[in-house]
Amino acid sequence: MPLLIKNGRIITSDADYHADIYCAEEHITRIEENIDASAFPSDTEVIDAKGKYVFPGFIDPHVHVHLPFMGTYAKDDHESASRAAIVGGTTTFIEMICPAPEQEPMDAFNEWHSKAQSQSHCDYSFHLGVVRFDQLAREQIRSIVTEYGIASFKVFLAYKGALDISDENLFDLLTMGKELGVITTAHCENATAIDSMQKKLLSEGKTGPEWHEPSRPARVEAEGVHHLATFAELTGAHVYAVHTSCGEAIDVARAAQARGVKLWVESVIPHFALDHTLAEQAKFQGAKYVMSPPLRDRSNHDALWAALASGVTSTVGTDHAPFDFNGQKDMGKGDFTKIPNGIPSIQERIDLLHTLGVKTGRIDLNTFVRVASTNAAQIFGLKCKGTIAVGADADIVIYDPDYTHTLSAKTHQSKVDYNGFEGWEVTGRSSVVAVRGKVMVRDGVFVGDEPGRGKLIHRVPTHF
């Protein structure tokens, strides 16, 4: 069904104007000051966006949906996670593939892809986690890049003995990435330092969630960013530091960028909104707020917002990782290292960013679109995403900037049993959301049909 959006204020990463938008065959085909609805087929749906913003569909560059952890799995499936994403205004996400150390890369890709391809309501891609790099793995990684358009890797400089990668393999992988034009995303900490600090704290009887942050302090994260930047500088590779949480790490990234390192920076919405005191709550309630890197002192918030406004930080994701408080997070009672990490936020990201960033004047609307959509599309090769232009995918969000609502587990779409922002009042809502021209949200309510419409986006490597 064709779609005509009239009277909206269109905002992209570099423009702000009033116009009408006509969509057909999943793409934007016309943008004009005044489009006459009578000139189109009778089944054209006409939506009046007067008084609202019209944004390109938002992109979350960092989510976990299918995620194993110590014998359990993250609570969401792709149906629920994509539904939550779309209600929150996100029309495309990139999921992290996190293989077991012995798992072949192709087997891991097939496992993750099989979970998404018949279930997701929105479009998706993957970052390929690399935890082994023998000859077979190298061959399969090349095939995954060329055959399926997976144009980004993921490495962990953390999780000793589980997901971490040796420096020798890191150097060789970055060299391969440069050759293939693939960008390497990285969890920047230090696996050995964290492992040692965790063992020391546990030996001292410090076992609660309040000790998670002291076991991986800001200095460890900053060292990880420096380590990644050094290897990128030596190999010429393009790299991307995920979920950067603190001023120290931002300073290291800024210095690397200034000397010419091809380094992009991501932060995630929990680090802009929450702080470490939440993980220190009594009666194990703090476990709800355990993620890595951990929530930091609130004094880091200003540095994160400043980096966003200045362009040092390019994207705001979520690191959505939904584990129930009851039955999953409580696996870590008596040992904080066994608490499944993650603060679910795939639905809440855009409204929090609008409330805490745009409404307060920390960022303007064009920056808002850049960091929540356009930059991710450009960095990760999501062609036809992240903008409103003729020929682009008709991923469109009609956003009511004045709508006030309260975040709660009672109303979110995720299957997880708590909301890390429970009771927060936010201003702004994705009133209408279209994914490739099909309306999936009306008046903030999901109206999509059977799951599986979302498709894997084949990306072309560009980071040579």
Phi, psi of 235, deg, nearest 5: -100, -15
| pLDDT tens, position by position, 366-383 | 999 999 999 999 999 999
Across the chain, mean pLDDT equals 97
Q: Is the pLDDT of residue 39 over 90?
A: no
Distances (CA, A) of 433 to 86, 190, 210, 376, 439: 7, 40, 39, 19, 6
| pLDDT tens, position by position, 324-335 | 999 999 999 999
Mean pLDDT of 11-30: 98
Residue 17's beta-bridge partner residues? 10
Which token pair is 185? Answer: 């995303």
Q: What is the pLDDT of residue 138?
A: 97
pLDDT class for 118, splitting at 50, 70, 90? very high
| pLDDT tens, position by position, 229-246 | 999 999 999 999 999 999
pLDDT class for 285, splitting at 50, 70, 90? very high
Instruction: Give dist(CA 54, CA 273) in Å, integer.
Output: 25
Number of residues written out for the chain = 464
Instruction: Give dist(CA 286, CA 295) in Å, integer.
Output: 11
| pLDDT tens, position by position, 82-93 | 999 999 999 999
Q: What is the pLDDT of residue 302?
A: 98
**Residue in the structure block whose two tokens are 């309260």:** 406
Mean pLDDT of 195-221: 98
Q: What is the pLDDT of residue 324?
A: 98
Is pTM beyond 0.85 here?
yes
Domain locations in the chain?
1-464
Count CB-CB contacts under 10 A for residue 3.
21
Domain 1-464 has CATH 1.10.3720.10: no
CB proximity list for 343: less than 8 A, separation 6 or greater = 270, 274, 288, 289, 291, 319, 321, 420
What is the percent of the chain with per-residue pLDDT over 90, rounded to a whole number?
97
Instruction: Give dist(CA 5, CA 21) in Å, integer.
Output: 5
Which token pair is 232? Answer: 């990128």
Mean pLDDT of 285-314: 98
* For helices 105-116 and 135-148, angle between their N-to-C axes, nearest 10 degrees: 40
pLDDT class for 347, splitting at 50, 70, 90? very high
Residue 374's beta-bridge partner residues? none
pLDDT class for 458, splitting at 50, 70, 90? very high
Nearest Cα neighbor of 313 from 20, 62, 53 is 62
Q: What is the pLDDT of residue 161?
A: 87
